[in-house]
Amino acid sequence: MNTICRTSPNFRLRTFRSLLVLGLFAAGTSLAGTARGSDGYVYEQDANIAVGEGAGAATYSRRLGNDGNYEVQASFRSFSGDPLSLAFRFPARSSHESAQEFGVSVEELDALMAACRARAGCNQEEFNRHTSRYYRDHALTLSQERADQAPRLRVDVPRVVERNRSRVKPVAVALRRLAAQQGRDTEWMMEAAIALVQSGMVYRQPATWDGGRKILGFYPPMRALERGYGDCDTKSALLAAILQNLSNRPLVGVHVPQHYLLGMAGTPRSDQAYIIHQGRPYVLVEAAGPAARRPGEVSKATHAALVLKKGIRVDPMI
């Protein structure tokens, strides 16, 4: 099954700024109407998620324990078709913290606006500097593909990965335990991580809003683990964070039109797809799923985009 993944949409800054940036001195500016829990975050309760259909389909179950930890049980298959089962726990609070670090909160931007208004001499240029810093602090980056286009916000995937690398350690620990039980090496363990994210979790695009924050259709890794699903860039960020706990092999994110995948440093075999970045080969890894694809196997859409060599961006992972 081929999946064409539309990467988390670039948030049109033109519209957003007309409400919150260019409208600095317009009264009553807000984007109200979003719902949130008592602490600004909606904690997920117990869930059993079927990933795919038919006998032997993967499952992903999540339970919120009385101790405030999520308990996850994932059942999926290795690339060789062997059934695998992975259990891990992580603090529910870590998902909350991960979500609060990311995305745009209207209340937070309104507070920036109010603070600027309260300062003598504050003008539009100064407010724009503050909002640009706010975007960077919340793992978003401004980009402008052409001079005649308005700047847009996009997800800073490497920054998200860096911030969540330590938080996903419970997944890496469970994978190491599974590899040790089966007498497997690091390459097998990394392929098990890829299989978990690729076909052991549902492929689904996150919503535009989450917990009162504009998230551009992207979940940071802990939120993806909590929900049990994600799209191509969400899953790529999660997989990169896990892999960085399993190996010191350099990684890059690879954006092609409407899609996002990873590259792992290494010498490719003749049958593996790869890119060259700064003189080094990176074997491509499709995280999106639901099709099971080993490292070096890419979808037809990805292959076509790489052949055209248009709209490709490489994001080195820190």
Domain boundaries of the chain, sorted by first residue = 47-100+155-248
Query: What residues are paired with 252 via a beta bridge?
Result: 263, 316
Give CA–CA dist 228/91, Å, rounded.
Answer: 15
* Other beta carbons within 10 Å of 46: 11
Contact status, residue 108 vs residue 34, Cβ threshold 8 Å: no
Residue 9 has a pLDDT of 64
Nearest residue to 254 via CA among 316, 303, 297: 316
What is the distance between the alpha carbons of residues 220 and 234, in angstroms, rounded to a whole number? Answer: 7
Question: What pLDDT is stored for residue 178 in this prediction?
Answer: 97
CA distance 165 to 188: 20
Nearest to 177 by CA among 88, 76, 78: 88
For the entire predicted model, the pTM comes to: 0.87
Check residue 27 and give its pLDDT.
Answer: 31
In the block, tokens 């997920």 appear at 44
Residue environment code for 144-169, b if the CB has 16+ CB neighbours within 10 A, otherwise e: eeeeeeebbbbbbbbbbbbbbbebbe
Tokens 């994110």 belong to residue: 253
pLDDT in tens, the chain (318 residues): 455 676 766 554 433 443 344 333 333 333 333 233 345 455 666 777 767 665 568 999 999 998 999 999 999 999 999 999 999 999 999 999 999 999 999 899 889 888 888 888 888 888 888 888 999 999 999 877 667 777 789 999 999 999 999 999 999 999 999 999 999 999 999 999 999 999 999 999 999 999 889 999 999 999 999 999 999 999 999 999 999 999 999 999 999 999 999 999 999 999 999 999 999 999 999 999 999 999 999 999 999 999 998 889 999 998
84-107 burial, b at 16+ Cβ within 10 Å, e below that, comes to bebebebebebbbbbbbbbbbbbe
pLDDT in the model for residue 49:
72
Structure tokens at 216: 């551009």
The pLDDT, as a whole number, for residue 50 is: 62
